[in-house]
Amino acid sequence: EPEVTQTPSHQVTQMGQEVILRCVPISNHLYFYWYRQILGQKVEFLVSFYNNEISEKSEIFDDQFSVERPDGSNFTLKIRSTKLEDSAMYFCASRREAAFFGQGTRLTVV
């Protein structure tokens, strides 16, 4: 069964450093998302991406965040200058109707 894959599973970074989280969506899906979850609590929407551009973003998704689909298969989330409060589990998802989520990247900013 096709699935969304995310790498790395765990990333530790120093405050102020840039991180790139990577995702490979399901191949015939057209819509892509990034969500985050802090401490196993609420799942927060960050951004949606369709037809090679951002279709919607939340107030969390400020200028420090960016997304890219560089090669038609990967979908990346970049955080330019990480803050302590960026520590969270980041989930990538893709969909046709229902969204399917990856296993997540646990980002720890120290």
Partner 1 sequence: AQSVAQPEDQVNVAEGNPLTVKCTYSVSGNPYLFWYVQYPNRGLQFLLKYITGDNLVKGSYGFEAEFNKSQTSFHLKKPSALVSDSALYFCAVRALNFGNEKLTFGTGTRLTIIP
| DSSP assignments along 27-74, one per residue | TT--EEEEEEESTT--EEEEEEEETTEEEEE-TT--TTEEEE--SSS-
- Six token digits for residue 104: 């997540």
Which one of residues 36, 87, 102, 107 is an interface residue with partner 1 (CB under 8 A)? Answer: 102
Which one of residues 14, 27, 40, 62 is an interface residue with partner 1 (CB under 8 A)? Answer: 40
Which one of residues 59, 62, 71, 97 is an interface residue with partner 1 (CB under 8 A)? Answer: 97
Number of residues counted as binding partner 1 (CB under 8 A): 24
Which one of residues 66, 74, 76, 103 is an interface residue with partner 1 (CB under 8 A)? Answer: 103
Q: Are 80 and 97 in contact (CB under 8 A)?
A: no
Residues 47 to 66: which contact partner 1 by CB under 8 A?
Answer: 48, 50, 55-56, 58
CA distance 14 to 16: 6
Q: Using CB under 8 A as the criterion, which residues of the chain lie in contact with partner 1 when the complex forms?
A: 31, 33, 35, 40-45, 48, 50, 55-56, 58, 91, 93, 97-104
